[in-house]
Chain A
């Protein structure tokens, strides 16, 4: 058997456990052969096609809507407007925010007012998608435009136009996170580095498959069937149920293959609700496939955050004591998952460092822009970028080597488990070693020498930057109470079912809705080890079906947690199933349970291999031959085993904003070498490396794929991708002509390596990973910084277009404000 030609069979001979092997993904055969089924492949008998009518204005009162010209068009089945949709609902969508923002009402379609360009005003159903679009163009809507606010900081000012009058403010949430004693630290530090403003820009992950759904509200049974590529369908169900007046068990959600989501497919439940109502009204199934421009305008953007008045106390030896800042998170026009982002970042409060004194005055503000909801690295990436910018700026201003300064301030290997100032517990890791490995991989010494050789003024400059970041995984949903103490959420978990089917087939199903993370493969690997079969013999159900799959309220694929929660559930379920198989097998062989074991699909006597019964025989006894079993065994065994994994969390202390907010902390160190063109500001990446430590890796090839993906998205965000609005609230990048997505042509070769620091807190030593903590954004920004002169401005934005880099290169010569100042109380350093 050739190892090269068939990895799957070849490894079978050699391995002792499947866990830890980079076996090819079960999903790949169908996906690479174009045999996946995505949302646009789905359909129902008699379906119509939906088209959303979207506002061209950023902010306007809806004066009137005349749908009659659309209805007059042949083939148009129905039109639903915001007012009518509201009248069909029981209540507005569930509100997470407390206080003023708890009065904000969001309905499936805009009612009375539109609040961003792309806000859905009505939805049309017709016999073809194109006809629906034609009809949508005929709807006559009169708008009374209002002034728009497009800046997250300005939105908080009293002069700003208010988006939601019922709240009376654009500040959706404000909280002060204050740990240690920052005032003391600022008074006693040897240096205080002040940075005026840092801005983390708006972008999104633009999955190759946009959102979509086929929805049928069956009036007879009351069942609302929803095929969709939503990545957290039962979360959508919890939001939609009370609004639509549909009990959870009258929803029938399902998904199959999903062409990427990255968090951006959590926020579109209002669209799903509108489609459900449209189906109810029209009395037929409704199919909706989001267009690219629709996706860019109105699906989901990532959080844009501005940090003001950053002050960093630093001791003469380089010890950074902490920092303070005011943060304004621009969450767009509606609160779809927000203001949860207001606490999520605090999972990584001090970043990779032993910072003790931290104060962040955080506001989430509403603006006339596309609503945000989670996007790969959600809310932590923004904060980690801030910290990486702080560390690099401190190094540069005070004359430290940025590498050595990091190492000095890192949480050290012997510090784990490390409690952060806000009560989070970093589980394990070795940051200094990861950093050394990344530098070696990227050949930093070689590039340092080249950089010196090349110098400045010769047309090209070289810069080297690193990004140290954390990928916190397995949220404690109790942190939501720090936003709103009334919220009945805490803990986390996931469900799985392991089952022996009628002819002895092993089947696993999950509560998750994967979008490329390879859950079928890793679930099979883990179950295979426990049941002692090959992963080829474990069928993992594709996608999610509410009717068949097990789930809990947290189920879904999001937030770097599957390796812990999902596989924790698979392990528990597989162990239960193993127990039952052993029990039935032992009975059938006339042995006791501890005298038998499982081997390659058979239950066999440990002492006498000739005595065995295959899984099919065991299935037969339970499913179709149960009179031969004892009544006790019949009672005990079902061969369908559900297990819910729950992490050991407690409810955080909401007054102190203190508690363990996440179970695991994977780390990633990125290192990047850039070449900057002095004449144009163009940035080219010459070398790139990432070192990942996500504890025990279940499937190293999948881990590596995730590292590549996160690096690619981060590089593209840092250099190419940005959503900008003009002052009237018009999106300037509504298509891929303007929004240049980083492709294989742009993303450099990425060298990867790893450390495995097993998590002591998880059932398998694994840590959640995948989001990647924005490591590439940090590294690229820091590398650009490294090309600049001492009197140039600092890199102040996470997005660096050629023009912005060009301006930075010229800033010293133009005597532009540098954006940073230092107050020193000691001399000589």
Chain B
């Protein structure tokens, strides 16, 4: 078969999905299928039972919390994120990133949960969610547990999700007026995978109060580059300050090499995209009096 023959089930609830996962070692969750089906097609992984959670109502909601944070169900698609008024009004950057993933067909099916649980270094959401300090809400038969996005991504195609667990939702903290978020990718052509990418979260009050600078596509998982964050803290965030802070991304850092770029080029580009992401974040606070 195009896919090796595989069983398919559509559980009625998250609890039932967990039960199936627990009773069958070869079971795997199917969300949008935009990566998993390709992986199966290329036969780099094999699965006995596909557990389709894409339509489970428990995983399909977007809600705001009184503190201004939002919770997004794992099976919300990119297209839904881009068409959610709630997201646009409180967390614009999430909608923007969702609207820039590949093409409409993929956006119609791909889910924010799948995007994270795959942990592919080229995926768009992981660096953003790390920068925004999101929390991943994970459900298993023994209940719920929370993992910070920064701790969630463990390696290439590896996350904190353990056998029998499902990512239920993602909670993203509020974005107050003194916070700006930047997201910059360098890619080959308009709609291809990024060579290097950075997302920055900056809290600014005349000077930088706090910053998170995340680099992606330079290692298997998104990484916060703390020396740069420290260099930014307390600075008045002029373009020169930001460039100086970015220049600390140094030779301690050994990015991956592939057909789209050598390690050395990626290191130099990491400085450029990190700088630009911070600039974007700062401009959002200064220019528009706050960003989402």
The proximity string for B residues 190-212 relative to A, scoring 1 for CB distances below 8 Å and 0 otherwise, is 11110100000000000000000
Stretch at the interface among B7-15, B221-229, B247-255, B257-265: B257-265
A242 to chain B minimum Cβ distance, whole angstroms, is 37
**Are A680 and B191 in contact, CB atoms less than 8 angstroms apart?**
no
**Residue B259 contacts which of A133, A682, A738, A802 (CB distance < 8 angstroms)?**
A738
Q: Is B45 an interface residue (CB 8 A)?
A: no
Q: Is B44 an interface residue (CB 8 A)?
A: no
Bound together, the chains give a CA A495 to CA B152 distance in angstroms of: 67
Query: For B190, what are the chain A residues with a Cβ–Cβ distance below 8 Å?
Result: 743, 745-746
With A680-B269, A738-B259, A803-B261 as given contacts, are A134 and B189 in contact (CB-CB < 8 Å)?
A: no
Q: Whose C-beta in chain B lies nearest to the C-beta of A679?
A: B272
**Are B191 and A743 in contact, CB atoms less than 8 angstroms apart?**
yes
B223 to chain A minimum Cβ distance, whole angstroms, is 20
Q: Is A724 an interface residue (CB 8 A)?
A: yes
Q: Could you tell me how many residues of chain B have their Cβ less than 8 Å away from some Cβ of chain A?
A: 21
Interface residues of B in 208-246 (CB under 8 A from A): none
Bound together, the chains give a CA A393 to CA B99 distance in angstroms of: 43
Query: For A133, what are the chain B residues with a Cβ–Cβ distance below 8 Å?
Result: 2
Q: Is B154 an interface residue (CB 8 A)?
A: no
Query: For A541, what are the chain B residues with a Cβ–Cβ distance below 8 Å?
Result: none
**Are B1 and A134 in contact, CB atoms less than 8 angstroms apart?**
yes
Interface residues of B in 251-292 (CB under 8 A from A): 258-262, 265, 268-269, 272
Q: Is A816 an interface residue (CB 8 A)?
A: no
**Are A742 and B1 in contact, CB atoms less than 8 angstroms apart?**
no
Bound together, the chains give a CA A743 to CA B291 distance in angstroms of: 33
**Residue A803 contacts which of B4, B189, B262 (CB distance < 8 angstroms)?**
B262
Query: For A131, what are the chain B residues with a Cβ–Cβ distance below 8 Å?
Result: 1
Query: For B43, what are the chain A residues with a Cβ–Cβ distance below 8 Å?
Result: 137
B87 to chain A minimum Cβ distance, whole angstroms, is 24
Q: Is B186 an interface residue (CB 8 A)?
A: yes
Q: Classify chain A: how many residues form its interface, as a range.
A: 20 to 34
Query: For B189, what are the chain A residues with a Cβ–Cβ distance below 8 Å?
Result: 719-720, 740, 742-743, 745-746
B104 to chain A minimum Cβ distance, whole angstroms, is 12
**Are A130 and B193 in contact, CB atoms less than 8 angstroms apart?**
no
Bound together, the chains give a CA A705 to CA B34 distance in angstroms of: 34
Interface residues of A in 773-829 (CB under 8 A from B): 801-803, 806
Query: For B2, what are the chain A residues with a Cβ–Cβ distance below 8 Å?
Result: 129-130, 133
Q: Is A753 an interface residue (CB 8 A)?
A: no
Bound together, the chains give a CA A803 to CA B268 distance in angstroms of: 10
Bound together, the chains give a CA A806 to CA B264 distance in angstroms of: 12
**Residue B1 contacts which of A130, A733, A806 (CB distance < 8 angstroms)?**
A130
A725 to chain B minimum Cβ distance, whole angstroms, is 10
A737 to chain B minimum Cβ distance, whole angstroms, is 7
Bound together, the chains give a CA A801 to CA B188 distance in angstroms of: 8
**Are A733 and B186 in contact, CB atoms less than 8 angstroms apart?**
no
**Are B259 and A724 in contact, CB atoms less than 8 angstroms apart?**
yes
Interface residues of B in 165-196 (CB under 8 A from A): 186, 188-193, 195
A363 to chain B minimum Cβ distance, whole angstroms, is 28
Task: Give 20 A-B pairs besides A802-B186, A803-B261 with Cβ atoms closer than 8 angstroms.
Answer: A129-B2, A130-B1, A134-B4, A682-B186, A719-B189, A720-B188, A724-B259, A733-B259, A738-B258, A743-B190, A743-B191, A745-B190, A801-B188, A801-B261, A802-B188, A802-B195, A802-B261, A803-B262, A803-B265, A806-B268
Sampled A-B contacts (10; CB under 8 Å) = A128-B1, A129-B2, A682-B186, A737-B193, A738-B258, A738-B260, A740-B189, A745-B191, A801-B188, A806-B268
Seen from chain B, the residues whose Cβ lies within 8 Å of a Cβ on chain A are 1-2, 4, 43, 186, 188-193, 195, 258-262, 265, 268-269, 272
